[in-house]
Chain A
C-alpha cells in the first residue's frame, strides 16, 4: 500500500468513525443533569463503609476486583520489561562514569529528595480520606526517588535504589492483594470482602480493608515503577553492544 493510499484510507475511515461517534455522543444524557445512577449508589456505599474518599472506596472496596486485575497488569508489565530488556548475549555492562554536577544542584537534590518522598508517602497514607491513594502516591514515590539521578548522577541513584529488594517488594505486594482477598474467603464471606473494623469516619484508620489494600498498592506501584524505569535506564546508561 503506498503512503498516499494509506493516508486516504485512514482519513476516510477516521471520518466515518468520527461522524458516527459524534452522533452517538449527541445522545448522551445532557451535561449537568441531576441523574447519576452509579454515582449516587457508590457514594452511599462508600459512606456506609466509613470511607471519606469515594474514589478509593470504588477502587479498593466496591470494585476492588478490577483493581486486583489492574495491579496485576502493572506486575506483568514490569516482569515483561525485565524479560525483554534482559542482557542479551551480544551485550556488555559498563560501569557508568561519575558525572560532574554543580554543588548547589546536588544540595538542592539532597534537600528535596526527602520532601518528595514524604509527599508521596502522604498521598498513599491518606488515600482513603482525600484525593490520592496507592496508585498516585506510588508514582510520586517512584519518580521522586529519581531526583537522585536528575540532581546528581546514576551512581547516586543506584545507592538509593536497592533493586533486588524492590523487585521482591513488588512481587510480595502484588501477592498481598490476592491474600487480602482470600482473608474474606477464610472469614466465611466473599472474596475481597471488607471484613475489618470500619473505624471512625474521616480518620486514618477508617474504611476497614480500604487503607490496607491502598497501602499494598502503594508499595507495589512505587517499587514496580522503580524497577520498570531501572530496566530502561540500564539500557541507556550501562548496557553497550559487545
Chain B
C-alpha cells in the first residue's frame, strides 16, 4: 500500500504565479507547527552567544515567518479547507472511500482554525514587541529560553487549532500547558507565582487525565483517533453510556482550559501572578482555544446520530456558559487587584463565548468568532497597560494607586477606551461580536440571552472604567479597606522590572494602542466579519468536513452564509451596555458601599468570593463536582 501523494483539494491555488516559489497549501499546515518549533531550537542554541538585540531580532524573524505562513494559508484556503495527511498516511490508495482505513494523522484547517492560529501569532508578535524593553531576561547560558518558550507556546496553540485528530489535539494541548505553567511561574523571587503556576498545573493536568481516559474509551470502541473517522465510526450504532461518558471526559481538558465555571478557579490565581506579557497570551487566546476545542470536538465527532443529541449539548452548555458569565461578572466587579479583575472579566466573556457556541448555529458561531478576535485585542491591551502600571509604580492595586497615574495621559486614555470596548461599544470588534451573538441568542431565548450579554459586558467593562476613574483620574474618595472580607490587594507586587519609576519605554504604550486599533478594525471593516461568517458556515458543515478530511469531493455547504453586519438594534444594545458600564463606574466611585446593596453583598457575593479560596484542594474538588454534574446532565438528556 503506497501512501498517496499529498494533494491540494482547493480550487484556484495552482494558477498562482507565486506558487512555484512558495510551499503548497498542504505543506503550509505542518510548517505552521514546524516553524516555531525550529525557531525555539535556534534561540536556545544561539541565544547563549547572541546579545539581547540580536536575540530579539531572531525571535521576531521566526514569528514573522510563522505569520507569513498562516497569512498565506488564510489567503489560499478561501471558502474551503486545507488538508494535509502527516507522513503521507492518507486514505489507502488515495481513495476517499477508504478514509476510515487510514492509520495516520490529518491536519484540517478552515478559516476558523487558521484564524485562531493567526490570532495566536499576532498576539505573540505583540508580546515580543512589548517585552522588548520590559524584562531583564536571564543572560548567558539561559539567554534565549524565554523567547524560545514563547515560540513553543505558539507552536502548541497553532497545532491545537489546525489538527483534525483527537489524540494529536491532546498532545498539543499538553504542549501549551507545559509551557504555560513555566511562563506563569516565571518570576521566581516571589512565592506567589509559584503557587499560581502550581494550581494551574495541577488542575489542568488532572483534567488532561480525564481527557485521556475519554479518548481511551472512544478508541476502544471505534479503533479511531481522527475526529472525522471517530465521528463516522460512532454513527454506525446508537449512542450509549460509553459515548456519553467518553464525550464528557474528553471535554474535561478543553473546558478547564476555557475556565468554564466551576473549572475556572485556577485562572485568576495564574493571571494575577504571571508576567503581564504572558497574561496577554493566556487571556487573549489560550483560554479561548478551550472553547474552540469544545466546539470542534462536538461538531466533527459528536454531532451525528451516534453522538450526543443537539438539545442536550445546547441546553447543558447554555447553562454552563450562563453560570460562567455571571460568576465572572460578579467576581470581576469585586476585585481591586487589576490583573485579577481582568482575569475574572475573561471568565465572564468566556461564558458568553460558550453561550454563542452552545446555540449550535452558524449565526451564534460567527458572533463568537468576531467576539473572540475583538476581545483578544482589547484584553491584551488592558493587560499591557497593567504591566505599564507595574513598571511605573510597582503596584496594580486600584485603591493604593488612587490618583497616582494622573500624569499618564495617553495610557489613561487607552485604558478608558479599553474599558468601553470591553463593554461592547460600537464599532469595536467586541461590540460587533456581542451584537451578532446576542441576535443569535435572542432567536433561541428572546430577551433572556440578550440581557445576559448586556449585563455581563456592562459589569466587566464597568469594573475597568471604575478602576480607570480611580487610578488615572483620582475620582471619588480613597476607598478604605473592607475588614472581614476575603480579598486580594494588588499591593506589594514585585515589579516585573528591576527599576520601577524609570522612563516609560515606548512599546508599553504603543503595543496596547496597536492592539486596540486592531480590535477596532475587526468591528469596523465589514470584510473581516464576512470572511468569518463564511468560516462559521464551513465549521458547522460536518458532512463537508468529513469529505474534505478524506480528500474526496466536498459537497456545497447546505446552509446560507450567516449575516455579519452591524444592525441598528445591535449597535443600540452596544451603546446601552457601554452607557450602563459608565453609569456603574460613576456610581461605584462616588457612592461607596451605601444603601441596601451592602446586605445583598453580604448574603450573595461574599460566599461566592469565599469559594475562591486559593486552596488547590478546593479547586480539585470543584473540578470533580463539575465533571459529575456534566455527566449527570448528559446522561439524563440522552
Contacts and interface: CB of A to CB of B under 8 A. Distances in A.
Interface string A58-79: 1001111110111011011101
B587 interface: no
A28, A174, A178 pick with most chain B CB within 10 angstroms: A178
A24 interface: yes
Contact of B221 (A28, A164, A192): A28
Interface in A81-125: 81-86, 88-90
Contacts of B29: 191
Contact of A79 (B34, B152, B249): B152
Given A14-B624, A27-B240, A171-B41, A65 B141 contact: no
Contacts of A184: 87-88
B409 interface: no
Interface string A12-37: 11101100110111111100000011
Interface string B216-254: 010111111100000000000000111011100100000
A81 B245 contact: no
Contacts of A191: 27, 29-31, 34, 84, 86-87
B174 A192 contact: no
A236 interface: no
Interface in A117-138: none
Interface string B161-176: 0000001100110110
B524 interface: no
A86 to B, nearest CB: 6
A28 B189 contact: no
A181 interface: yes
A82 B188 CA distance: 12
Contacts of B5: 188-190
Contact of A1 (B38, B101, B618): B618
Given A76-B178, A175-B41, A6 B34 contact: no
Contact of B624 (A17, A25, A39, A88): A17
A199 interface: no
Given A72-B152, A179-B38, A164 B141 contact: yes
A172 interface: yes
Chain A residues touching B, majority SS = helix
Contact of A38 (B3, B105, B183, B219): B219
A22 to B, nearest CB: 9
Interface in B23-39: 23, 26-27, 29-31, 33-34, 37-38
Contacts of A29: 220-221
Interface residues of B, number: 88
B627 A13 contact: yes
B148 interface: yes
A61 B105 CA distance: 11
Contacts of A77: 178, 182
Given A73-B175, A79-B149, A184-B87, A48 B41 contact: no
A71 B459 CA distance: 44
Given A16-B631, A76-B149, A175-B41, A62 B217 contact: no
Given A45-B1, A190-B87, A191-B86, A63 B621 contact: no
A238 B459 CA distance: 51
Nearest to A21: B245
Contacts of A24: 217, 241-242, 244-246
A79 B145 contact: yes
B142 A21 contact: no
A150 interface: no
B189, B194, B241, B618 pick with most chain A CB within 10 angstroms: B241
A64 B87 contact: yes
B617 interface: yes
B222 A80 contact: no
A42 interface: yes
A80 B181 contact: yes
Contacts of B178: 73, 76-77, 80
Contact of A190 (B33, B88, B186, B242): B88
A188 B3 CA distance: 13
A168 interface: yes
A41 B3 CA distance: 13
A23 B243 CA distance: 11
Interface string A34-54: 001111011011001000000
Contact of B87 (A6, A27, A65, A178): A65
A6 B621 contact: yes
A25 B34 contact: no
Contacts of A190: 3, 5-6, 26, 30, 84-88
B512 interface: no
Contacts of B555: none
B40, B628, B631 pick with most chain A CB within 10 angstroms: B628
Interface string B14-53: 0000000001001101110110011011101100000000
Nearest to B185: A84
B188 A88 contact: yes
Given A17-B627, A25-B242, A62 B87 contact: yes
A193 interface: yes
A67 to B, nearest CB: 9
- Minimum-distance CB pairs A-B, first 4: A80-B182, A37-B223, A24-B245, A175-B41
9 contacts: A1-B615, A17-B624, A69-B171, A69-B172, A70-B171, A83-B142, A174-B41, A178-B38, A190-B84
Interface of B: 1, 3, 5-6, 23, 26-27, 29-31, 33-34, 37-38, 40-42, 44-45, 84-89, 101, 103-105, 138, 141-142, 145-146, 148-149, 152, 155-156, 159, 167-168, 171-172, 174-175, 178-179, 181-183, 185-186, 188-189, 194, 197, 213, 217, 219-225, 240-242, 244-246, 249, 610-611, 613, 615, 617-618, 620-621, 624-625, 627-628, 631-632, 635
Interface of A: 1, 6, 9-10, 12-14, 16-17, 20-21, 23-29, 36-39, 41-42, 44-45, 48, 58, 61-66, 68-70, 72-73, 75-77, 79-86, 88-90, 164, 167-168, 171-172, 174-175, 178-179, 181-182, 184-185, 188-194
Given A62-B103, A79-B148, 20 more contacts: A1-B615, A1-B621, A10-B620, A12-B625, A17-B624, A17-B631, A20-B632, A38-B103, A38-B219, A44-B1, A63-B104, A69-B171, A72-B155, A75-B152, A79-B149, A84-B186, A164-B141, A174-B41, A178-B38, A192-B30
